[in-house]
Amino acid sequence: MSQLSFDLTRLETMAAEAQQAKQLTPTYDDLWNAKLYPDGDLLNEYGETEAEVVLNGGEFWPDWQKIEANKIKPQLILMAEGPHGIYIINNVAGDISPIERGMICFAEGCKPSDGQAMLNKQAELFGYDGHSFVLPKNWLKQAKQAGKQALIIKVQDAQCELFLS
């Protein structure tokens, strides 16, 4: 079991930006959430449902552009991406990247500049393939109510949970 520590104040700022955003980007979890698509059916780029594609012997992959934009919720996403580090971003859409907006929060000791030590920690926690995890909405509130300055995430077997002790 290992822990990742993130600055709670920065995360609260990022969550507030997402709450106020006019446009949000769907997460990987959203891609597979049928409730976000018209009529509650996942759709591919041709507007075909999963059942239609599979019955015709094809392989199905949902198209994020078929998601109804007004159904996407503001979210914070933990990312582990090789040389890019372990960080949390929000799902605000737009032409300006999270880094350029200052809306990225690296885990302590997990910035790209931390080099091989960061890569080793990432491989230990999540393996070599990368990882993403949508934070439950109540984690920031729980950490703040517990008087924490940081959001601590316990990671074991690539599974994430809030750590308040």
The percentage of residues in the chain with a pLDDT greater than 90, rounded to a whole number, is 81
**79 — phi, psi (to 5°)?**
-125, 140
Tell the burial category of 147 from Cβ atoms under 10 Å away from its Cβ (0-12, 13-18, 19+). exposed
Checking DSSP bridges between strand 150-156 and strand 86-90, what pairing results, if any? unpaired
Task: Give residue limits of the domains in the chain.
Answer: 2-25+73-163, 29-69
In tens, the pLDDT along 98-155 reads: 989 999 999 999 999 998 998 898 888 888 888 899 999 899 999 999 999 999 999 9
pLDDT at 153: 97
Percent of the chain with pLDDT over 70: 99
Strand order in the sheet with 104-106: 104-106, 86-90, 76-80, 131-134
What is the CATH T-level fold of the domain 2-25+73-163, as seen in this structure? DNA Polymerase III; Chain A, domain 2 (3.10.150)
Confidence at residue 1, expressed as pLDDT on a 0 to 100 scale: 57
87 pLDDT band, cuts 50/70/90, is very high
The whole-number average pLDDT for the span 74-81 is 95
